[in-house]
Structure 1
Amino acid sequence: MKAVVFDMDGVIFDSETLVFRMWKVVAEKYGVADIEETCRACLGINATVTREIFFERYGQDFPYDKYKKEMSDLFHANAAGGKLPKKPGIRELLEYLRRENIKTAVASSTRRDLVTRELEEGGLLSYFDEIVCGDMVSRSKPEPDIYLEACRRLQERPEDCYAIEDSYNGIRSAKRAGMHPIMVPDQAAPTEEMEELADSILPSLHEVQQYIDKNCKKI
């Protein structure tokens, strides 16, 4: 084992809960139906594909940009300045990986400026050797591009790297890249497909640390 690559939203930060909550506020204001189901369909994908999913579900005349801006403004009002909650065990896991000299990276579908800002405000930016974001690759998860790029930047083979993910598309992406996916569920419950694709499904990042310590030989 040479490296661990983390998704960000729902893995490092408890941000997806806040996104769902803010979309519900906007949906109730404008009478948008089934917003939670739509948000769940968008887990793990980039902004371009998310936009397409909203248009597919609500029609091409859906004022997505207006509603998305309102949601984003609400989100940042509640998350800026380090207020975004971290997932339990993330700092301990990062400290452990540092002590073990295991490389780390972020592979997030979110755009780079926001990823960097949230990690910095959360006091976690210095833990990561590389950051790869949705606006840095041509294809979104579930395609393998973002994880392949992370491994390339880390200068490690995908088969020597683990990926920590919470979404179906993230697990699919890491598996297609040839990595070892570990699912830590957040908004999406594990399915039979996820059980087949993931090396392990664990309830929290605390168990991820225990799993790595017990099962992964440090090369």
Structure 2
Amino acid sequence: MIEAIVFDMDGILFDTERLSVESWIEVAERLGLPDIDKGVYGCIGLNRTDCRIFLKETYGQDFPYDYFREQTAAVFQRKMAKDGLPVMKGAGELLAWLQEKGLKVALASSTSHKTVESHLQQAGFTGFFQAVIGGDMVEHSKPQPDIYLKACQLLDVEPGNAAAIEDSPNGIRSAYAAGMLPVMVPDLVKPDPEIEKMLYRKCDSLFAVLEFLEEKDKKGELYQPRI
């Protein structure tokens, strides 16, 4: 029985991962940093603490992490100011349906809580979530299970009764380790055989997630709260 849905943010609700990748590549080329693709895709799903560790392990302890992130953030904000916040197709429809059904809904993102709240406000999504957890609210974010366990705790739901909507391998590993039902909507990184084995369901869009949940609802496999 699915009682709650916990969303990732970047690459699921908003097409911000693509902007981040473009920003990282632009700054890396400007600074003459080689082979940045490994760092870009390896950091998807990580919070700032774990991203710092990963980049320094990958490129050496002399990697200018703070300056690099300062520059990539500036490029990212420039792109956002120009084109606005890119909302994923189906996000609003899926959130509205979940609200109508009365399921518990949370957001668990490796991005900082302040940025998460800002994005939700810009998109008009703040009223859809009973809990919002940013990557700076846990010691270790994805692929560790901390952030999803915290989301389930705040929703007062057992992890086995909660589905996690994710796009990245690190996010799927996190949800799987937490004992949740990982639903993947692949974005920039496609699942390999290791990740495929962890999945409860794979969907090609948020509209497909909605269709999947509608099927579960018809079978009586979604929790229906008493009104």
Structure 1 and Structure 2 fold alike (TM over 0.5): yes
Q: Which residue of 1 aligns with 2:74?
A: 73
Task: Please state how far the C-alpha of 1:82 moved relative to its aligned partner.
Answer: 8.5
Q: Which residue of 1 aligns with 2:10?
A: 9
Tell me which amino acid in the other structure corresponds to 2:222: K
- SS at the partner of 1:11? coil
How many residues are paired up? Answer: 219
Q: Deviations over 1:22-75 (max 9, x none)?
A: 111101111111212211011111101111111122221121111210110111
Tell me which amino acid in the other structure corresponds to 1:210: E
CA distance in 2, matches of 1:57, 1:93: 38
Q: Which residue of 2 aligns with 1:149?
A: 150
Q: Which residue of 1 aligns with 2:47?
A: 46
Pairing 1:120-139 to 2, within 5 Å after superposition:
120-139=121-140
- SS at the partner of 1:159? helix
CA distance in 2, matches of 1:182, 1:212: 11
TM-score by length of 1: 0.96
Q: Deviations over 1:51-104 (max 9, x none)?
A: 111112222112111121011011112225991101110000001101111111
Q: Percent identity?
A: 42
CA distance in 2, matches of 1:48, 1:124: 27
CA distance in 1, matches of 2:63, 2:142: 24
Pairing 1:1-219 to 2, within 5 Å after superposition:
1-80=2-81, 83-215=84-216, 217-219=221-223
Change (3 A) 1:156 1:81: farther
CA distance in 2, matches of 1:135, 1:94: 24
Contact 1:81–1:121, Cα closer than 8 Å, also in 2: no
Contact 2:131–2:154, Cα closer than 8 Å, also in 1: yes
Unpaired runs of 5+ residues, structure 1, are none
Change (3 A) 1:212 1:82: farther
Contact 2:109–2:135, Cα closer than 8 Å, also in 1: yes
CA distance in 1, matches of 2:135, 2:47: 6
CA distance in 2, matches of 1:88, 1:133: 23
Change (3 A) 1:183 1:57: same
TM-score by length of 2: 0.93
Contact 1:45–1:141, Cα closer than 8 Å, also in 2: yes
CA distance in 2, matches of 1:196, 1:99: 32
CA distance in 2, matches of 1:84, 1:48: 25
Structure 1 window deviating more from structure 2 (31-40 vs 108-117): it is 31-40
CA distance in 1, matches of 2:112, 2:133: 9
Runs (4+) off by over 3 Å: none
- SS at the partner of 1:197? coil
Contact 1:105–1:128, Cα closer than 8 Å, also in 2: yes
Unpaired runs of 5+ residues, structure 2, are none
CA distance in 1, matches of 2:60, 2:196: 34
